[in-house]
Amino acid sequence: MAADSANEPALALAFPDYREPAERFAAAAGIGCEAIRVHHFPDGESLVRLPDRLPEHVALYTSLDDANQRLIELELAAATAATLGAERLTLVAPYLCYMRQDAAFRPGEAVSQRIVGELLARHFDTLVTVDPHLHRTARLADAVPVRRAVALTAAPLMADWIAAHVNEPLLVGPDEESAQWVSAIAASGETEFCVARKTRLGDRDVRIALPEAGFAGRNVVLVDDVASTGRTLAAAADELARRGAASITVLVTHALFVGDAWATLRAAGVSRICSTDSILHESNGIPLAGLLADTLLNPD
């Protein structure tokens, strides 16, 4: 049965870069999927075009990597959907941007998490995302004040992937903030885990202190929510290699992998990298379509 309780079924609308995962999501949810067309003018402005008639419930699908561009295009699409018959908008954004700036760390800084959250809540009734970076903010609804804010976790899927690919794994979280994800994966797979301490000195300057655990000869899986420059995971991998780990695998929910992140991780001794398909990347090995669709099919 289709997802919506209204007469018309819901419709998924896919932004161009996310057409394939949006179609997988729509197929799993048993709903249709149509394209959002985006034209980029030479000056960098975007023209967004939707199907000209929409049902009552529309689910817009895009991850919010490359956030500054995608947010404005999402804003254009959501405001337009409301003029084309959509009365209820769901945002399916497996990766939710601007979650890490959850406080003003220095006087005068924007608290981006709250500001972007309020922007999204102007249009959307429901938000569905995966492993959002909630650290000082306890609940997703506190960051994005929509009627229904759903924070899914990829932890069970990651635990399954580890069980299928890594022999006698030891899970390591590179910093205190990763403890929530690494402990959830460890609990799903009944696996050993520990958490390191991180000191960030700059965007690409990170120091990691590993706990006093036995890493020699172990198949270590480094787990984090986001890999951006890759420096957090690379610094951890450097230390693990120094302590004699037999193999180092990286497993992340959101594969931003900007610039030379991929090469930096390989140079640090990482032999295998896997991510969910929340952000499209060659490391994608864990599809999220079923997890996301379940939320649409089972609203409560």
Residue ranges that bind ligand R5P, judged by CB under 6 A: 100, 133, 175, 177-178, 206, 224-232
Distance of CA 73 to the CA centre of its chain: 19
Per-residue tokens: 29: 């949810």
**57 or 231: CB nearest ligand R5P:** 231
**What is the closest distance, in whole angstroms, from the C-beta atom of residue 206 to ligand R5P in the complex?**
6
Helix (H, G, I), strand (E, B), or coil: what is residue 81? helix
Least spacing, CB of residue 135 vs ligand R5P, in Å: 7
Which structure tokens are listed for 71?
């947010």
Q: Comparing C-alpha atoms, which of 181, 2, 261 is closest to residue 172?
A: 181
131: left (phi over 0), alpha (psi -120 to 50) or beta: left
CB 184 within 8 A of CB 223: no
For residue 106, give both structure tokens: 């220095």
Task: Please say which residue, 25 or 257, places its beta carbon nearer to ligand R5P.
Answer: 257
C-alpha–C-alpha distance, residues 280 and 197, integer Å:
29
Least gap, CB of 141 to ligand R5P (angstroms)? 21
Tell me how far, at minimum, the Cβ of 283 lies from ligand R5P, in Å: 13
The token pair that represents 101 in the structure block: 């700036």
Nearest to ligand R5P of 17, 260 (CB atom): 260
Are 69 and 41 in contact by the 8 Å Cβ rule? The answer is no
Rounded CA-CA distance 195/177 in Å is 9
Q: Which CB sits closer to ligand R5P, 229 or 249?
A: 229
State the minimum distance, in angstroms, from the CB of residue 53 to ligand R5P.
Answer: 41
Pick 157 or 255: Cβ nearer ligand R5P = 255
Residue with structure tokens 């594969």?
A: 255
Nearer to ligand R5P, 63 or 232 (CB): 232
Minimum distance of ligand R5P from residue 133's CB (angstroms): 6
Report phi then psi at 264, rounded to 5.
-65, -40
Residue pair 198/220 in contact by the 8 Å Cβ criterion: no
Quote the least distance from Cβ 30 to ligand R5P, whole Å.
Answer: 34
Spatial contact of 141 and 129, defined as CB atoms under 8 Å apart? no
Pick between residue 227 and residue 273 the one whose CB is nearest to ligand R5P: 227
